[in-house]
Chain A
Amino acid sequence: MAFSVNFPLFSIVLCLLCAVVSSLLPSKAARAVSIALCAALAAGAACLASYGVSVGKATEYLMGHYPHPWGNELRFGVLEPLLVSVFAVVMLLCLIGGKRYLAADLDPEKSNLYYVMCDLVLVSLTALSYTNDLFTGYVFIEICTIASCGILMIRQLGRTTLASVRYMIFSLIGSGLFLLGLILLYAVTGHLLMPNVKESVAALWAEGRYRTVLLMSMALITVGLGVKSGLFPFHFWMPDTYGYATPSSGGILSGLVSKGYILLLIRIVYGAFGTDIFYRSGISNVLFVFGACGVIVGSISAAREKDVSRMVAYSSAAQIGYIYLGIGLSPGMGVLASLFHILTHALTKPLLFLSAAELASCAGSRQRAVWRGAGHINRVAGFAFSVGAFSMIGIPLTMGFVSKYRFALAAFERPLLMIPTLIVLAVSTVLNGLYFIRVVVAIYLPPERRTDRVRITDHPAYAVCAIAFTAMNLAAGIAALPIVRLLESSLTLL
């Protein structure tokens, strides 16, 4: 067993320690600790992913001296460390890119607490990705809920506090449902560790015992995680939450936190319910329907919106809809498309939020109406926003194109769902085109008044972050095949 299998344990403990230490440090040091932590986590997880590829099987890592079903465990193949690494990189770039706004939005006395919360978000994402135990999942879901609410409400405007309350309420509804589902599952299987749960569920399903309880618990867990990540009928908190948070937090919340819940759902579907039973139970079809509705409703709401940050936030609702649509489609290709879309969205949304904030500060407002010519004033932000917008529309050479292509491919596997999927894809692409291209066109129209151009060197932190995000997006969009292959092979290890 290679030494790198210890990295998940070390990264979780390191995050917890950093969070606790940061509460004692001044804000600058806390910021440095957070950034270093993200970098270390990304590097460790990348090592672990390459180890996973070379071994070709998933590792079960005991948290203590007792194997399942007695003690807690972690479990990781390729997918989990890969996503953790992406999460850490995105968080790093968010923290770097939003530096200017963090300085403005945070109360200087409390700004170290922001980084404490960031560390805690990171630890919960890591633990949610690695855990092999459902109840540990619940505990870290709650840490994630409180910590993400923390990075939201640290900007102490009335509107942001209100947004935090609504976010918190929906999150708590989601975790309440998840908890009840978990208890029901435990009541009939007697296990909490995913491999054992899977065995018992398969046995009970074959015997036909406790059918209602099993269905109910699957439904509750799925709906709970769906509510927390903003699936269609419960997406109303999104525009306020993402739109009024400080841009770094908006990026982290939309790009990472919701993805952590979705990843946990995928792992539970594969590891605890078993794909056979989950896709035979009909819950996947419900997910498909709600996902499709989410895509359409999110896109229409975004098209109505005049405030660009809120528009980008509504577009998140549509992207979450895509991901659930893929999960609902089929266990192989559909989930693969969803995983790729998770990557796309995680790399695109933070870029859009940060660039929108940057352009808004050039234009003086977040209303689209006054953005005319902002792309000439701040060229980096204009370019980055355009790339992000193209990726969300699904224009070739960007990641968004690849994920839409994978969704279309996955649709062909399910003849019955093929036509609706393609219609949803087409309609939402047109709507996305409408509202994103409008903004892109507006920022490249000749400006109405002459303003000094913003140079790259004026905001180097943002420039670094924007260039890194755009480069990753274009690289992954052009050379998508290896990534898709990697995800495909990692799905077999789940």
Chain B
Amino acid sequence: MKRKKSIKERLREWDADAFDLTERTAGPMHPAPAAPEEEKPEEPPAPERETRLGSRALRILYSVLAALFGTVMLSFLLATASELPPYGAAENPVHNAVSERYIRDGMRETGAVNIVAGVILDYRAFDTLGESHVLFTALTAVLILLLGEGVHRESTGQIRMQQDRIVTNTASVLTPIIILFGVYGILTGHLGPGGGFSGGSIVGAGLILHSVAFGYDRLGRYLNIKTFRIVCFAALAFYSLSKCYSFFCGANGLHTVFSPGVPGRILSAGLILPLNIAVGVVVACTMYGLFSVFQRGKI
């Protein structure tokens, strides 16, 4: 009588874990879900850690294993390091026809006196296009996380800073110089040390110094979230579109309207100067934006 179960009943039994293979062998791995909140009053964190990591012995084992793992990894890496080409030698494999052409023809082909600027903004411009969008991606991710969260009022430390004569007076002298230096770096990136990334971060640092010393209100008149987004949009869109044009021409064997010009002049090197400006704007905005979002949850 009892053996004559219908298929449906058997399936029901299976579903209700009546003859379960997997879970019995598995044992209680995952804690039972959904314990009501009031059953578990607030516990200090220390015993929780005990349950996670087991006991003291386990924690010691963990650190021993970590040290062991680190040693093994380090020995592999050092074995590799010993085989690498010697430091500073001129005949290393990296110093090949690639760098030779960058140096010999770089100035003629890109118009940039600073060969590194020519490499990153002309020969390998696609990398740099990606790179400036990494910044944009990171800023967007931080905005997702922190916009409208965190401390809304300025912290006491901040207010104390704003009352400090030394801070405000130094800032009022230094801010214009710092920003001017950054702008100089951006504008002469193709002629010497500098460029969009370094110049932009100097400008960003100047903006941050200003907002630390004088609060956000004065800067906020020009740099609220809306102008911020529009400026980023304009710079990045200009970057993408102009590079798209130049890549398209390059791949299809067409001539671009941008010419290298006379190397050494401020208005030379084709697209490199405008691209440096675009990158500089994005970097400066991102630096200031990150600071502001981290500190008060808005721009």
State yes or no: do A and B touch (Cβ within 8 Å): yes
Q: Does A212 contact B (CB under 8 A)?
A: yes
Give CA–CA (A372, B123) in the complex, Å.
61
Between A and B, 14 residue pairs with Cβ closer than 8 Å are A16-B129, A21-B233, A23-B229, A24-B230, A63-B125, A63-B251, A71-B124, A109-B147, A109-B148, A143-B133, A187-B92, A190-B94, A212-B83, A303-B22
Q: Does B186 contact A (CB under 8 A)?
A: no
Give CA–CA (A66, B77) in the complex, Å.
35
Q: Flag if B130 contacts A139 (CB, 8 Å).
A: yes
Known contacts A143-B134, A153-B145, A212-B83: A63-B237 contact under CB 8 Å = no
Q: Flag if B247 contacts A435 (CB, 8 Å).
A: no
Q: Does A140 contact B (CB under 8 A)?
A: yes
Known contacts A139-B134, A445-B15: A113-B250 contact under CB 8 Å = no
Q: Does B36 contact A (CB under 8 A)?
A: no
Main DSSP-derived SS at the A contact region:
helix
Q: Does A62 contact B (CB under 8 A)?
A: yes
Among A289-297, A304-312, A459-467, which stretch is in contact with chain B?
A304-312
What is B's interface to A at a CB cutoff of 8 Å?
8, 11-12, 14-15, 21-23, 26, 29-30, 33, 76-77, 79-80, 83-85, 92-98, 101-102, 109, 122-127, 129-131, 133-134, 136-138, 140-141, 143-145, 147-148, 229-230, 232-233, 236-237, 240-241, 243-244, 246-252
Q: Flag if A147 contacts B230 (CB, 8 Å).
A: no
Give A269 Cβ to nearest chain B Cβ, in Å. Answer: 20
Chain B residues near A101 (CB-CB < 8 A): none
Give CA–CA (A142, B133) in the complex, Å.
10
Chain B residues near A65 (CB-CB < 8 A): 109, 246, 249-250
Q: Flag if B127 contacts A133 (CB, 8 Å).
A: yes
Interface string of A303-346 (1 = CB under 8 A from B): 11111000000000000000000000000000000000000000
Task: For A16, give its contact among B127, B232, B240 (CB under 8 Å).
Answer: B240
Q: Flag if B126 contacts A133 (CB, 8 Å).
A: yes
Chain B residues near A397 (CB-CB < 8 A): none
Residue of A nearest to B102 (CB): A70
Which chain A residues numbered 162 to 189 have a C-beta less than 8 Å away from chain B?
Answer: 184, 186-189
Chain A residues near B96 (CB-CB < 8 A): 190-191
Q: Does A205 contact B (CB under 8 A)?
A: no
Task: For B133, give its contact among A109, A120, A300 (CB under 8 Å).
Answer: A120
Task: For A136, give its contact among B23, B29, B127, B243 (CB under 8 Å).
Answer: B127
Q: Flag if A445 contacts B12 (CB, 8 Å).
A: yes
Q: Flag if A147 contacts B33 (CB, 8 Å).
A: no
Known contacts A1-B252, A17-B241, A372-B15: A146-B127 contact under CB 8 Å = no
Q: Flag if B232 contacts A20 (CB, 8 Å).
A: yes
Give CA–CA (A197, B78) in the complex, Å.
23
Q: Flag if B123 contacts A10 (CB, 8 Å).
A: no
Which of the listed residues A1, A63, A66, A191 has the most CB atoms from chain B within 10 Å of its own CB?
A: A63
Task: For B76, give its contact among A70, A216, A304 (CB under 8 Å).
Answer: A216
Q: Flag if A20 contacts B98 (CB, 8 Å).
A: no
Q: Flag if A9 contacts B244 (CB, 8 Å).
A: yes
Task: For B122, give its contact among A9, A64, A367 (CB under 8 Å).
Answer: A64
Q: Flag if A24 contacts B33 (CB, 8 Å).
A: no
Interface string of A419-448 (1 = CB under 8 A from B): 000000000000100110010011001100
Q: Does A13 contact B (CB under 8 A)?
A: yes
Interface string of A134-160 (1 = CB under 8 A from B): 011001101100110110011000000
Q: Does A221 contact B (CB under 8 A)?
A: no
Give CA–CA (A305, B31) in the complex, Å.
11
Q: Does A256 contact B (CB under 8 A)?
A: no
Known contacts A17-B241, A143-B134, A191-B98: A305-B30 contact under CB 8 Å = yes
Q: Flag if A213 contacts B80 (CB, 8 Å).
A: yes
Q: Does A61 contact B (CB under 8 A)?
A: yes
Give B99 Cβ to nearest chain A Cβ, in Å. Answer: 8
Known contacts A6-B248, A184-B80, A304-B30: A200-B93 contact under CB 8 Å = yes
Give CA–CA (A85, B293) in the complex, Å.
37
Q: Flag if A186 contacts B250 (CB, 8 Å).
A: no
Q: Flag if A213 contacts B83 (CB, 8 Å).
A: yes
Chain A residues near B95 (CB-CB < 8 A): 190
Residue of A nearest to B244 (CB): A13
Give A340 Cβ to nearest chain B Cβ, in Å. Answer: 28
Q: Flag if B11 contacts A69 (CB, 8 Å).
A: no
Q: Flag if A117 contacts B141 (CB, 8 Å).
A: yes
Q: Does A127 contact B (CB under 8 A)?
A: yes
Give CA–CA (A157, B257) in the complex, Å.
52
Task: For A140, give its contact among B130, B145, B241 (CB under 8 Å).
Answer: B130
Residue of B nearest to A366 (CB): B33
Residue of B nearest to A302 (CB): B22
Give CA–CA (A354, B89) in the complex, Å.
58
Give B163 Cβ to nearest chain A Cβ, in Å. Answer: 34
Q: Does A84 contact B (CB under 8 A)?
A: no
Give CA–CA (A61, B97) in the complex, Å.
21
Give CA–CA (A123, B244) in the complex, Å.
14
Give B134 Cβ to nearest chain A Cβ, in Å. Answer: 5
Give CA–CA (A442, B16) in the complex, Å.
9
Known contacts A63-B251, A304-B29, A372-B15: A188-B129 contact under CB 8 Å = no
Q: Flag if B80 contacts A212 (CB, 8 Å).
A: yes
Q: Flag if B94 contacts A146 (CB, 8 Å).
A: no
Task: Give the 8 A-B residue pairs with the shortest CB-CB distance, closest first.
Answer: A72-B126, A139-B130, A65-B250, A303-B22, A190-B93, A13-B244, A63-B126, A304-B26
